Structures are given as C-alpha cells and as structure tokens.
Amino acid sequence: MKPTGHRIYWDRYKYLFTALVSYKSSCLLNHGRKCMEMREKNKNMKRLLAAFDFDNTIIEGNSDIVVKNLLPDEELTEDVRCLYKSDGWTAYMRRIFQLLHGSNFSPSDILSAVRNVPFTPGMKELLKWLHEVNGETIIISDSNSVFINDYLQNSSLDKCVTKVFTNPAVFNDSACLEIEMYHYQDWCKLSTKNLCKGHILEAYIQERSKENVDFPFVVYVGDGANDFCPSLRLNEQDITCPRVGYTLEKKIMNAKENDPGSVKASVVPWTNGNDIIDALKQRLNGSV
C-alpha cells in the first residue's frame, strides 16, 4: 500500500524536526565547549606578574640585620665580620645564627624580632590589591625562607603570594637556624654568588608560559643593588619600581644617563606602596 499524503507529510515533518534538534544540540555542544575553553583561558590569564624584594621593600627594614642586632657587640668579633667579605652574606648569616643559638636565643626570640619589623607604608595594601585584581605575586629575596614565610603567615598574607624564591632555611633539631645558598651562580656579575634575581625571574616567566599562563606585563619592585639585574631584564611593556633614595634608583638613573638603551622598562619610583597601586591602575585602565 502506498503511503497517503498525510503520511508523507508526517514523515517529512519528523525528518526535519529530528534534523533541527540534532543541529541545535550540536550548536549547544559547540557553544558549551567554547565557553569551557574561554573559562579555562580566562582562568589562566593573569592581569600581571608582580615580583618583589623583601627587605627594605615589603618590610621597613632588613630582617637579617634586625636579627643580627640581637647579639651583643662582643660576639661580633673581627673574624665574624670578615666572613661577609671572604665568603659572602649567606656564610656570614650562617655564623650569626650559630652565635644566636650559642647565646640561648630561641626560635621564638628570632621570629619575634622579624615579626616586629613593620610593613613599608602601603605595601600590605599593595599585596592585597594585587591579589584582588587577579595579579600573580612572587618574592625574590636574599633573606631566607623561614623569615619570609613566617612573616607572611603571621600577617595573613601568605595566600597573596604565589611563590617565594630565597635562601632555604630551617630550624634543626637543636633549634639552631640553618641556612643554605639558593643556588651558586657565576654567570652574572651584577649579582651575588648565591642569588641572581634576574635569572630567577626569567626562569619563572618561562616556566609559567609552559603551563599556559602568560602575563601582559611584569612589574618589579625593589630597592637594592641586587634588584638592578632583574630590572635590566624587563622589556618595554614592563615596569620597574625603584624605591626613592635607595641604591636601585641611583643605579637605574646612572644607567639611563650613560647607557639609555639598557633600561627598557618604564620606571616608576616609589616612596609608598600606594604610589605603585596608582601607577598599576593607570596601566590596567590603558592610560599608561
């Protein structure tokens, strides 16, 4: 029996309806996939990378010097003082920690001294703001892991910092603080043998890129001579922030005068963490 006209019409309707549903389902599936890809991309897209020194930058003082000053002057003999010149700062501080232990200073005495160093004005606000705007923050410091991690945790800012690069340290079973060099380097004449900050910064950016995390620009915040190397490794879209009146600012000014092409990044001097917030707000808003 041949199909009637109504049956033919109904079969065609079912075919068209099935095709339309299949097409819409395919569109929704593709749209969902694209949305997931976009969410994943946005999750990996940081608005900037901020790299900080610790002493005289995040905190208003030098954590090593504060702890060294716990010792009476008679403990700091000439052979101890000469360690810095002969073997470097890390070896000097290793000896300082041994002397503190021998003088019955406890871990809590040492950590309390560091915790009592105040934040540099505006720095706590800057770290919190960077976290709020989806920035990624790292610290590269010639202090040590015990001091920095304890300070951040005690200030409830550890979640604002993604990673800390510094000399590894630990209180041993006898409660003496032991410290080692972060690495041994002989390739950078601008840096100490235990810490090339520029190398660490570049390696971190490359590592994050392999993890599909890229940064539109990098900001480096520091004060001292060992912050000069990473400042020179920044590109035109980046920003270096030297603290006003400190060694890094003088080195950058001399470099720009004597070798203008050596400093490619924009230079934003600062006296307060809020100066940096203002500059970064302008950059993120597209006005700088």
Are 266 and 240 contacting, i.e. CB atoms less than 8 angstroms apart? Answer: yes
Residues 6+ away with beta carbon under 8 Å from 52: 58, 137, 138, 139, 140, 141, 220, 221, 222
Q: Which of 53, 64, 142, 223 is catalytic?
A: 53
C-alpha distances in Å from residue 243, one per residue of 62, 64, 89, 223, 263: 14, 19, 22, 5, 16
Residue 2 and residue 229: Cα distance in Å, rounded? Answer: 88
55 is catalytic: yes
Q: Which of 55, 150, 238, 275 is catalytic?
A: 55
Tabulate helix, strand, coil % of the chain (nearest 5). Answer: 55, 15, 30
Residue 71 and residue 142: Cα distance in Å, rounded? Answer: 21
In the β-sheet with 136-144, what is the strand arrangement from edge to edge? 163-167, 136-144, 49-52, 218-222, 239-242, 266-267
79 is catalytic: no
Are 90 and 43 contacting, i.e. CB atoms less than 8 angstroms apart? Answer: no
- Counting Cβ atoms within 10 Å, is residue 255 exposed (0-12), middle (13-18) or buried (19+)? middle
Residues 6+ away with beta carbon under 8 Å from 180: 90, 167, 168, 169
- Name the 3-class secondary structure at 136: strand
Residue 277 and residue 272: Cα distance in Å, rounded? Answer: 9
Q: Which residues are tagged catalytic?
A: 53, 55
